[in-house]
Amino acid sequence: MSTFAKTRAHYFVTVCLALLAVSAPAAAEPIRLSVHFSVGGDAALDPDFGSQTATGSFTVVSDVPSKGGIVQNFDTGLNASQISFSWAGHTWTTADADVGRLDFAPNGILQGWALSGIPAGLRLIRFDVSPDILVDNFDFTYSTPVSLQLGLFKGPLISWRVTSVAATPEPGSLLLLATGLAGVARWRRLGFRARRLSVS
């Protein structure tokens, strides 16, 4: 085999490997989840905010279990990169709230979650800590200054939707892609040169 043929074969293999690595399913790769939700107050018991509604959102990067399952950390949270939710005169952000649980279906779709205020801990909510929130894919529990007398309030989760995108590729994947693209460029140059030599 000539040197030219060996070089072409080498770059062909490099390009194929790079394209396979980039196009292969990345089930274990982290994904960026953005959840948008709307809630309502406790119309039966909350005299101040029971008739109100509000919208909120959070964004978090998480690995997705290969066969579905729960990713959770109620001690330190899952480090949401963005939280935006205002209720009862308080705006919750990453400074005082976090996502504690994500629940994935076997097909990798997010089917459950929990967003909590930090004041009483991410696992629970207390009537004697105000303000505090616990929003999940079922309902909305919260406290206000009158919770000392009336207890915790529970309103409905009206709606929620999630969007997900692959997180930023790892440096190794980017390097492999760059190598493959460089191989394509080199292969094309060698092909043009070989055709030019065969013509002359």
131-167: pLDDT as tens digits: 999 999 999 999 999 999 999 999 999 999 999 998 7
For the chain, residues with pLDDT lower than 70 are: 1-28, 168-200
pLDDT of residue 23: 45
Q: What is the pLDDT of residues 32-47, one digit of tens each?
A: 999 999 999 999 999 9
Alpha-carbon gap, residue 177 to 22, rounded angstroms: 7
**pTM for this prediction:** 0.71
Residue 131: cis peptide before it, omega within 30 degrees of 0: yes
Check residue 191 and give its pLDDT. Answer: 56
Write down the pLDDT at residue 167. Answer: 74
Give pLDDT, residue 15. Answer: 46
Specify whether the CB–CB gap between 187 and 15 falls below 8 A: yes
Measured between alpha carbons, how far is 98 from 86 in angstroms, rounded to an integer? Answer: 14
pLDDT for 9 equals 54
Contact 167, 173 (CB under 8 A): no
- Record the tokens describing residue 196, joined without a space: 């030019």
Q: Please, which residues have CB within 8 angstroms of residue 115's CB and are 6 or more apart in sequence? A: 56, 58, 80, 83, 85, 97, 98, 99, 100, 133, 134, 135, 136
Cα–Cα nearest to 130, from 151, 145, 149, 150: 145
Determine the pLDDT at residue 182. 56
Q: Element (H or E) spanning 198, and its range?
A: helix 171-199
pLDDT value at residue 1: 55
